[in-house]
Amino acid sequence: MEDHKLLSKKKPAFPVSEMLNNYLTTHSRNIKIPIYYEDLLRFQGGIEIFDEDGNDTLWISTYFAEHERNEIETSLKRIYTILHADGSEAILDFLTVDAIDFCTFGNTKPFRVKIRNILNDNYTYLYIKKADASRIYGLELEDMLSPNHINYLVHKNSLIEEHILGISGDYFIKHHLKKCSHQDKMQIAKEFVKFNERCFIRLLGDMRSYNYVFVLTNDFDRIQYRIRAIDFDQQSYEGKSKVYKPQFFKENFPLVELTLSMLKEESIEQYKIEERSLIAKRAKSEKERLENLLLCMKNDVLSTPEKINQLKKELFEMTKDIRFKKVENMGSLLETALDFVTRNYKNINPYLIH
């Protein structure tokens, strides 16, 4: 466990390249939308939002000029139908925009839109952000290589994402973790090991506790726990390999302590192997799409030469795979890392049909 800062002070946003844009179009992610991120920046003012303990959430509830509000809200409802339905206007009259919040913290400074169905009073959120190639690559890799499906759209410089349900990691650790049963803690420890391994293999960084959620599912006489990433800005950017392992962030220390107290070393290794095996299977099933995405990454600028050199050196020292020394960019680094895992998975699983 390390307390010193692992991350750079500020990661820049990278533009969406023509190659990535074509990839998104091919896979139905690039769809024309009726409103853009910049349109929402025209809000007239906002009111600070505090949590139940009176702490500033760094979100503000915005309001717009009267002559713009109706058009903006109609456009947001249309985005909801594009993201969650067939894009038709048949349900627009049954939707209402309850809130448009703006986050003053983070790289993407997103808008969070609360949309409610007036027929049943159910509501959901969607997020509108400035498009960042790093985040888009992170979303695509999450969709392909994790057990989670991601629903999002991109058009020009705007990124639309669905809300990911779950309990924020920092809130869960503070308010729920100590109350969990022994069986629950065993499962949470197992899930943290697998989540840690999954982030490292696909080079997803900055998984501090507020950048992931706990998803709880009732299953017969117990609750199933899953840890799910919700922030993808730090995909394949930093040079320190520890950035890609959640265990090295001080915010996650309670989960590290829990894991070491609940699981034997042999069990930890077993769960790591299980996760590598699952990632290898997913990579194999998404072979063509993954190759196309990695080709985009290899032709893109996603980090600095210094960070790339540092990371490839650390990964070589860790794996002794000479191919890491030959890579020139983050796309090639990730491709080599995934290939390393896939090849080793074939070696440990003699029942895999090639």
* Per-residue confidence band for 348, with pLDDT thresholds at 50, 70 and 90: very low
Residue 31 has pLDDT above 60, yes or no: yes
DSSP single-letter state for residue 26: H
Angle at 132 (CA atoms; ends 12, 338), nearest 5 degrees: 95
- Looking at residue 346, its pLDDT comes to 55
The beta strand positions in 88-232, using DSSP E, are: 95-103, 111-117, 123-130, 152-155, 158-162, 167-168, 212-219, 222-229
- Looking at residue 198, its pLDDT comes to 96
- Average pLDDT estimate for 326-330: 95
* Per-residue confidence band for 345, with pLDDT thresholds at 50, 70 and 90: low
Q: Give the integer Cα–Cα distance in Å for 320 and 160.
A: 40
Residue 3 has pLDDT above 60, yes or no: no
Model confidence pLDDT, tens digit, residues 123-161 = 999 999 999 999 999 999 999 999 999 999 999 899 999
Q: Give the integer Cα–Cα distance in Å for 344 and 354.
A: 13
Tokens 């503070």 belong to residue? 174
The beta strand positions in 183-279, using DSSP E, are: 212-219, 222-229
Each domain of the chain, given as residue ranges in start order, spans 18-130, 167-348
Per the confidence metrics, is the pTM higher than 0.75? Answer: yes
Least confident of 97-101, 224-228, 346-350: 346-350
Least confident of 46-55, 208-217, 299-308, 320-329: 46-55
What's the distance, Cα to Cα, between the start and end of the chain in Å? 39
Q: Give the integer Cα–Cα distance in Å for 192 and 226.
A: 8
Phi, psi angles (nearest 5°) of residue 323: -65, -25
- Looking at residue 354, its pLDDT comes to 38
- Looking at residue 88, its pLDDT comes to 81
Model confidence pLDDT, tens digit, residues 205-247 = 999 999 999 999 988 888 899 999 999 999 999 999 999 999 9
- Average pLDDT estimate for 20-30: 96
By the 10 Å C-beta count (0-12 exposed, 13-18 middle, 19+ buried), 181 is classed as exposed
Q: Give the integer Cα–Cα distance in Å for 328 and 252.
A: 32
The percentage of the chain sitting over the pLDDT mark of 90, rounded to a whole number, equals: 83
Tokens 């962030």 belong to residue? 249
CA quadruple 201, 202, 205, 209: dihedral sign = negative
Amino acid at 20: L
353, 226, 265, 341: CA torsion to nearest 10: 30
Write out the two tokens for 71.
């058009």
Q: How many residues does the chain have?
A: 354
Instruction: Specify which of 73-87, 271-285, 287-301 reaches the highest per-range mean pLDDT.
Output: 287-301
- Average pLDDT estimate for 313-332: 95
- Looking at residue 352, its pLDDT comes to 43
**Mean of per-residue pLDDT scores for the chain:** 92
Phi, psi angles (nearest 5°) of residue 11: -85, 130
- 129: three-class secondary structure by DSSP: strand
Q: Give the integer Cα–Cα distance in Å for 66 and 58.
A: 25
Residue 272 has pLDDT above 90, yes or no: yes
- Looking at residue 95, its pLDDT comes to 96
- Looking at residue 6, its pLDDT comes to 74
Nearest to 342 by CA among 280, 296, 286, 249: 280
- Looking at residue 15, its pLDDT comes to 95
